[in-house]
Amino acid sequence: DVKVTQSSRYLVKRTGEKVFLECVQDMDHENMFWYRQDPGLGLRLIYFSYDVKMKEKGDIPEGYSVSREKKERFSLILESASTNQTSMYLCASRGQGANEQYFGPGTRLTVT
């Protein structure tokens, strides 16, 4: 079974802090994705990566950056956390040529 893990289930950070959210998948998938989920807005794509060191902006990249130094790991970085980045963050992966995305359990981030 594909497993996607995220470093934290719950995280509380202060405004202005630098925040790292880590995602690891164990199925050698080429494609990895970061979404944020907010009530009434569904899932919105922040960034995705289709290969090591490659990244593409999604629909809402502002205030975020990503890093993919190894195939199995995709990190989301909040350079200077703000209260409007309080949200549920979901990581997903997908194999090349495949259709289904596999999701991690999510990280609920609160910025105070």
Q: Which of 21, 32, 33, 74 binds another protein (CB under 8 A)?
A: 33
As a three-state string, the secondary structure of 40-78 is CCEEEEEEEECCCCCCEECCCCCCEEEEEEECCEEEEEE
Match 């934290």 to its residue by tokens. Answer: 8
Q: What is the DSSP letter of 3?
A: -
Minimum Å gap between C-beta 90 and another protein is: 6
The verdict on 102 binding another protein (CB under 8 A) reads yes
Which residues sit at the interface with another protein, rule CB under 8 A? 4, 31, 33, 35, 40-45, 48, 50, 56, 58-59, 88, 90, 92, 99-106, 108
